[in-house]
Amino acid sequence: MDELLLFLAEKGAIQNRLNITTKLIGASLSMSQQNASIRLRSLVKQGFVSKNAEGVQLTEKGRKALASLYSRLKAIFQQKRFSFNGKIVKGSDEGKYYVSLPQYKGKIKDAIGFAPFPGTLNIELDDSQIETRMALREHKPIVIEGFKSKGRSFGPAELYPCTIGGYSGALIFPFRSHHGLRILEIISPYDLTEKLPISTGSKITVEVVFQ
């Protein structure tokens, strides 16, 4: 399932025409405007989306594809074990800034028992794993409340404890995130790039298990 089709559906393009620019699509899904334009044209060419001067809208074929996805997701929503395979990508250091803040660091330690190493490990999934990510998000997360500091508001985040190469960590989903559906952010008490033989582009597996 193409994440762009899901994105358009989430924005209301199932029942109504959506007037949206490829620039905004690109920014929302962490891709270039050119890539967003190519992906949108591909969906139109395949018959999943129609496009005219008023905007874009899912076709009957697109809606059926979503209905099929819903049926598959229902079957896996009760999963207790999730495995994500992806490649390590370079982050913007934004995660490093936030998890280094004493307020977040303290709240994370209280919630899951460890203070995070100052930085996040970013993993890029392929399109086939977006459905699994959506199913994971149906499980109840550990919530880190937001806070205010020096007149600035910092939003909440949600955590799912996980393991990476035998080391403990957690998937973190900030309320305010610039990442699309294909990027997972991981925090850990360890510098995983030192503990594991990995670097940008390396393949890695993340496991999440619910009791």
Q: Which domains does the chain have, with CATH numbers?
A: 3-74 (1.10.10.10), 81-209 (2.40.30.30)
Q: How far apart are CA 163 and CA 156, in angstroms?
A: 22
What's the whole-model pTM score?
Answer: 0.65
Stretch among 23-32, 61-70, 147-156, 161-170 having the lowest mean pLDDT: 147-156
The dihedral over CA atoms of 150, 96, 26, 159, expressed in degrees to the nearest 10, equals: -90
Helix and strand counts by DSSP (H, E) for the chain: 8, 11
The pLDDT value given to residue 56: 96
Higher-scoring residue by pLDDT: 178, 135: 135
Taking the C-alpha atoms of residue 128 and residue 153, their distance in angstroms, rounded to an integer, is 35
Of all residues in the chain, what percent carry a pLDDT higher than 70? 98
Least confident span in 63-72, 87-96, 122-131: 87-96
Is residue 163 pLDDT above 90, yes or no?
yes
Which helix (H) or strand (E) segment holds residue 193: the answer is helix 192-195
Nearest CA to 183 out of 77, 88, 119 is that of: 88
Residue 77 pLDDT more than 70? no
Can you read off the two tokens belonging to residue 80? 């207790």
pLDDT at position 176: 72
Quick check: 170 pLDDT over 90?
yes
